[in-house]
Each structure stands twice: as structure tokens, then as C-alpha cells.
Structure 1
Amino acid sequence: MSPGDTDTVHALMSDPLVMRHYPRPWTRDECIRWVEHNQRLYEERGLGLWMLTLRADGSVAGDCGLTIQRIEDEDEIEIGYHLVPKLWGRGLASEAARATRDRAFAELGLARLVAIIAPTNEPSANVARAIGMRLEREMEWRGRPQGIFALDRGSIIASP
């Protein structure tokens, strides 16, 4: 994700379907700040979200990557993903999340990943399960009920 991706990020994150499990779609200014935040994460920690493109034609499919979230006074590394609606249900989010998980554990040496998922977002929960995550707990996070899915590096024997 780079500053040149701002329009693409805004198109994705302002889509009411993509953002239906968030409090609301994002404004352009929020997307600018998000891109800047990801740039800082890349530089400081090797984390951040990457834009996903289709091999066939190079069109944008969404984003996926790692960010830092504060959960109950602990910094956790979250794996996150968003896809354009016309590509839902094709396994692309699982493919991207699996590659991100593998990079997090093998290349970055992270010990644990989480995914914060609304109870109503079953497709996202399915992606989390597909990469080996399990529901660890349910809680209120930022004023909304959320499921915290988690995966420890030691629990990965082979890629699911």
C-alpha cells in the first residue's frame, strides 16, 4: 500500500458492502490516514496491508496484511483483509490470508496472530478458520461486540 493507492483504498473502504461490519464506510481523509499509517508500519516494523491484484489482469482485488491492534491493554498483531464484493466467495481472501500468515511466522518471526471479527461476519470467520485460527474469546472492542480469533506459531504443523 503506497500513497498512489489512496483512490483505490477509498473505493474499497467507502463501499457500504465492504464496510457493513464496521461502524460506517470510511471517508477519503480516513483512507489517506490509513495509507500513511500503513507506510509507517512498513518502515518501522515490516508490517502493514498490501494491495491485492488479480494475476489475470492486474486489477485490484482488495487488501490483506498485518497491523497492530490494542486489545485489553496488549498490542496484538492482527491479520486483516478486505475484498471487492464481486470477488467474494472465490477463496481469494483465504489465499491471501494464508500467505500473510506464513510470512508473519516464517519471515517476521511473529509468535501469534489475531483477527478481530464481528459475530455477524461469518465469511471473515471462515477465512480465519481456513488459516488455522480459532475463536479465542468474545468481547466488546471499540464499543462493538467482536470475536477474537487467534493462532500461535507453535500450533502450525502444516499449512491447512
Structure 2
Amino acid sequence: MFHVKRPEGAVTMKLESERLLLRRYRDEDFEFLFSLVKKPQVMRHIGEGTTKNRQLALEFLYWIYRSYREHPRNGLMLLIRKEDGKRIGHAGLVEQTVDGTKELEVGYWLAPEFWGMGYAREAAAVLCREGFKEHGRNRLISLIQPGNTASRKVAQAIGMNCEKELMRGGQPVLVYVLTKERWHGVSDT
């Protein structure tokens, strides 16, 4: 159902699912990224819940680029709908430290006009496959604020369970976990 496409020897990761193409950000994607991070409804459950102006959005893009250099197989990737090439959000595997332990997070954001269509679940599922099969991880997490019911539903749909609640950046965050063993029973089709 899900396929991973990778040019041989290349660092530019590209993943795809039935309806989505996931690729690394490029400079020409900045306006789309800015359109996401300036919307209160998108940012309300991200970090401190505040929007970003143009300068902060540019700094965020630079952070994404730095993460590609520091962790060449990870990072946030642009989500593109295959049927029309439209940018619809981003998702990726992001290195996190939780309670002193290095973890790999499955993260996803969509533009509001694409909410409720199953795209986040589809992207998260392909990222789980990548994390378990290609990265050899035995455990993946998602960090989700308690009020973000849509993201919690996505995590549960791919087989994640809430392990605990903690504080990050002054915000309560739920740590959702999916183990490789559980994934094989739920999502490995």
C-alpha cells in the first residue's frame, strides 16, 4: 500500500503513499510554509500556540534545513497531493528528547482546508513504516497537546497509545507511543 522512493545514493528523501508525495522543503516552498504558520487555527496546538510572522517563518524554514543537515534521514517534509500537485501541509520524522531519552517523533500539520480527509493518517502511516523499516526503530512517538483532538485521533488510528503527560515549553503534552511489535499487528499491510 505504501511505497518508499529514494534515488540511489541521494540524500534527498522522497516518500509516497496512495494519495501523497512527501519531499524535502525547498526555497520555493516558503510562501506555503508561511501560509501555514501565520494561521491561528493551524498553530493553536503547536508549541506555545502562537502564529509566526514572515521573519519567524523564515527562521523556521532555516531550522528545517539545519535538521536535514544534522539528521539526513529525518526532518519535516512537504505534503503534496498527487492528483493535482497541491501543497497541503507537512509531516516528518523529527528527533526529540523526552525525559532525557532520544526519541523519533511522527509529526504532521495540514492546511485547514484539508482537515478531515484522512491525509494526516496516511502521512503518519507512511512515516511509521519509514521509522520502523528503514530507520530500524522499535518505538516511535507523537507529542500532542491534550486539546488537539484531531491529532489524537490520527495517532490512535495508526495504533498509538497515550503513554504519559508531561510539560514541554510550559505546555502540557501527551506522549503517544507506537512500538514496532504493535505496528506489525495494526498497520503493516
Select which of 9, 26, 30 maps to 1:2: 26
Distance in 2 of aligned mates of 1:36 and 1:58: 24
Cα distance in 1 for partners of 2:63, 2:139 equals 21
Map of 1:133-148 to 2, 5 A cutoff? 133-148=160-175
Structure-2 separation of matches of 1:127 and 1:29: 31
Out of 54, 61, 82, which is 1:35 matched to?
Answer: 61
TM-score normalised over the length of structure 2: 0.78
What residue number does 2:94 align with? 67
Q: Residues 30 and 68 of structure 1: is their aligned pair in 2 closer, same or farther, counting only changes over 3 Å?
A: farther
Pairwise CA RMSD of aligned residues?
1.5
Which of 81, 88, 91 is residue 115 of structure 2 equivalent to? 88
Partners of 1:152 and 1:25 in 2: CA distance: 33
1:1-160 superposed matches below 5 A: 1-22=25-46, 23-45=49-71, 46-158=73-185, 159=187
- Separation (CA, whole Å) in 1 of partners of 2:104 and 2:54: 25
Unpaired runs of 5+ residues, structure 1, are: none
| CA displacement at 1:55 relative to structure 2 | 1.6
Per-residue CA deviation, residues 48-68 of structure 1 (Å, 9 max, x unaligned), is 011111122111110010112
Please state how far the C-alpha of 1:155 moved relative to its aligned partner.
Answer: 2.3
* Partner Cα distance (2:92, 2:55) in 1: 21
Displacement of 1:6 after TM fit? 1.6
Report the AA paired with residue 3 of structure 1.
Answer: D
Deviates more, 1:5-14 or 1:35-44: 35-44
In the alignment, residue 14 of structure 1 is paired with which amino acid? K
Where has structure 1 moved over 4 Å in runs of 4 or more? none
Aligned residues: 160
**Amino acid of the residue matched to residue 124 of structure 2?**
A
TM-score normalised per structure 1: 0.92
Distance 1:64 1:93 in 2: 8
The share of aligned pairs that are identical, in percent, is: 34
Provide closer, same or farther for how the CA distance between residues 84 and 72 of structure 1 changes in structure 2, counting only shifts above 3 A. same
Unaligned residue ranges in structure 2 (runs of 5+)? 1-24
SS at match of 2:57: helix
